[in-house]
Structure 1
Amino acid sequence: MTEQHSHQFERGTDGPKVIVVGVDGSDSSLRAAAYAAGLARRQHALLAVVYVQPVLAAGAALGAPVAETTDEIAEDLVAYIRDAAERLKGIFEVRWEFHTFRGDPYGGLVKAADDLKADAVVVGASEQAGHRIVGSVAVRLVKAGRWPVTVVP
């Protein structure tokens, strides 16, 4: 009898190795990033900070410079994270990367988590009242059941 070794990706065997956190500049997403950074530091995991650039076809059709605006948001987020990491250097070390995906927030985070082989996903609670009824990105990620999801208030 021969033993076959599977080279398939296996999640959660020795704690998380990659933690994906979704950021969009909102207060709750920045709290989620801070929480995820602490988790990544304690677990010696890579923190993958993900900004999903919305694809706003209606805005683009009206001539609004959508791509430029979302690129500026991404650049501002990277600058903010670099600044925070620099201020904490020597006190709070965490390996991190910044990734930008395009699409709706849920689809972008799913693609990011799949592409980056995430062991865990951290998001901020939605700050929009309507999401309590319709369902937020966080609720949809939890329902997908593909990764442990932490929702930070």
Structure 2
Amino acid sequence: MESVFERGTDGPKVIVAAVDGSITSLRAASYAAGLARRQGAELVVVYVAGGSAMANFIPAAGAAVDEAQHDVATELRAQVETGAAQAGIRARFIERKGDPFNEISKVCTKVVADAVIVGASTSQGHRLVGSIGIRLVRAGLWPVTVVP
């Protein structure tokens, strides 16, 4: 029988925020940073560079997309480091490559996440196949907050 005093019941100690550079993901990261500050929790910000369909057709395009995604990650890392220092919170930035759902899930498992914060999808296609937020909720492994 589970106890009502399980890990995470007194507030999150490790909060994972997934970012992709979109306005909703940046709002989610801001929300997660505020929550981390109020809870005295560690903030783990994850950026996942997805594969490019163009790379299958034009090899040179794949390299350009990889470089652009790495540039986005570098900018996001700098924002996280600066913001964490200003807010006085512990934060780290993790850059991954692959399927966003799988990579975010792996990071959450590795850091023993108590909460996951993501931005709402702005893609029309996600109504059919499901957004990252919906997939994380369906996995049922962590409390997930989707920020509009």
TM-score class, shorter-chain normalisation, is 0.7 to 0.9
Distance 1:129 1:57, change over 3 A: closer
- TM-score if structure 2 supplies the norm length? 0.86
Equivalent residue for 1:121, pick from 113, 116, 136: 116
How much has 1:54 moved relative to structure 2? Answer: 1.1
Aligned residues: 140
Equivalent residue for 2:103, pick from 91, 105, 108: 108
The answer for unaligned runs of 5 or more in structure 2 is 1-5
- TM-score if structure 1 supplies the norm length? 0.83
Q: Give the % identical residues.
A: 54
Which protein is richer in helix relative to its size? 2
Larger radius of gyration: 1
Distance 1:60 1:93, change over 3 A: farther
Task: Tell me which residue corresponds to 2:24.
Answer: 28
CA distance in 2, matches of 1:76, 1:60: 27
Equivalent residue for 1:12, pick from 8, 13, 24: 8
CA distance in 1, matches of 2:83, 2:40: 18
Report if aligned partners of 2:24, 2:119 keep a CA contact under 8 Å in 1: yes
Distance 1:130 1:60, change over 3 A: closer
Report if aligned partners of 1:54, 1:102 keep a CA contact under 8 Å in 2: yes
Report if aligned partners of 1:52, 1:108 keep a CA contact under 8 Å in 2: yes
Partner letter of residue 71 of structure 1?
H
Partner letter of residue 10 of structure 2?
D
CA distance in 2, matches of 1:11, 1:50: 22
CA distance in 1, matches of 2:110, 2:83: 26
Report if aligned partners of 1:23, 1:49 keep a CA contact under 8 Å in 2: yes
Task: Tell me which residue corresponds to 2:69.
Answer: 70
The answer for unaligned runs of 5 or more in structure 1 is 1-9
How much has 1:126 moved relative to structure 2? Answer: 0.1
Alignment RMSD, CA only? 1.8
Distance 1:135 1:84, change over 3 A: same
Distance 1:13 1:84, change over 3 A: closer
Partner letter of residue 67 of structure 1?
D
Matched residue SS, 1:20: strand
Report if aligned partners of 2:15, 2:41 keep a CA contact under 8 Å in 1: yes
Partner letter of residue 103 of structure 2?
G
Report if aligned partners of 2:137, 2:143 keep a CA contact under 8 Å in 1: yes
